[in-house]
Amino acid sequence: MVPIRPSEITPEHIYLSRRKFMLGLGAAALLAACGRLPDTPEATVMPEGAATSEALSTPRPTPTQKPDIKTAFDAVTGYVNYYEFSLDKEAAAILANESLQVSPWTVTVGGLVNKPRVFDIEEILKFEQEERVYRMRCVEGWSMVIPWLGFPLSRLLKEVEPLSNAKYVRFQTLADPEQMPGLGDMTFPWPYIEGLRLDEAMHDLTLIATGIYGWSLRPSNGAPLRLVVPWKYGFKSLKSIVRIDLVEEQPTTFWMAAGAGEYGFWANVNPEVPHRRWSQANERRIGETRRIPTLLFNGYADEVADLYPDLTNKDWFF
């Protein structure tokens, strides 16, 4: 199979930015009233394999290619990794959607910044939101194509004015044992922590997602706001963020601490660099039967490869 060219999907947000969503006054009033956008997704559910208007806007595939088709809403929201709830993907989705309270919610942004702030989620939802359709590649060997709603993380970081000695960004997920039964599993070093180098965090592809499929983000996918870094393995994209700190030293992440040397800080997707216990050469697209080749930087190499000098250095992919 001819690999999917990144240009088939990454320009889609440029196309989609013409349809930028403003969570303007009407939506803001709705959010104030019920805390979230409507939850009923039927209007946007696409049968698996059906062509979407966005898919049709991309170049027609040749007979040997297959376009990226959005993963069905039910799979995106019902088959998740959210270890704070359960190691079982379907149970985690049910538990999160049943019990995670996403309003009220605040995010503390501080560390090495001029203007540390505590943002109320309502303030964040007033930032201009846009739709981005991204591939997500889990290190476990499966992938999805997900239409997120959100805004570039750089938008938030600019508000707090990082200091010149800030080199990395450290993110933290809520850890509330009252709501998250998985936290009882003490084999893991809670809370879930992730990190990016500052230039990765400021990259235009790096998104804070607040919605999915045109609707508010489901708790199972990390409501009310999560990170999305599409060129890295999915575990970098942490959910339900409560704290963001600008720091000088590279943070130790949840998976670095938990994974006995199996997961590194960079975690950039590369089909040629296997995980210690399995190959990363191909992936199972959820909702499709055959495996497809995995792409360097998950297909976003044109946009991000220059963030990483000397790509022969395998550490970037670990």
Binding site for ligand MTE (CB under 6 A): 80-84, 138, 173, 192, 221, 234-235, 237-239
Run of H or E residues at 77:
helix 73-78
Closest to ligand MTE by CB, 162 or 172: 172
User: Nearest distance from residue 101's CB to ligand MTE, in Å?
Assistant: 15
User: Nearest distance from residue 82's CB to ligand MTE, in Å?
Assistant: 5
Closest to ligand MTE by CB, 46 or 80: 80
Residue number with the smallest Cβ distance to ligand MTE: 234
Decide: 98 and 71 in contact? Cβ < 8 Å.
Answer: no
Closest to ligand MTE by CB, 224 or 234: 234
User: Nearest distance from residue 161's CB to ligand MTE, in Å?
Assistant: 27
Closest to ligand MTE by CB, 81 or 129: 81
Residue 168 φ/ψ, nearest 5 degrees: -135, 165
User: Nearest distance from residue 10's CB to ligand MTE, in Å?
Assistant: 19
Decide: 113 and 166 in contact? Cβ < 8 Å.
Answer: yes
- d(CA 76, CA 232) in angstroms, rounded, equals 18
Q: Is 101 buried (19+), middle (13-18) or exposed (0-12) by CB count in 10 A?
A: middle
Pairing of strands 168-173, 241-247: antiparallel
The conformation of residue 113, written as its DSSP 8-state character, comes to: B
- d(CA 171, CA 194) in angstroms, rounded, equals 5
Closest to ligand MTE by CB, 238 or 256: 238
User: Nearest distance from residue 2's CB to ligand MTE, in Å?
Assistant: 26
Residues in the chain: 318
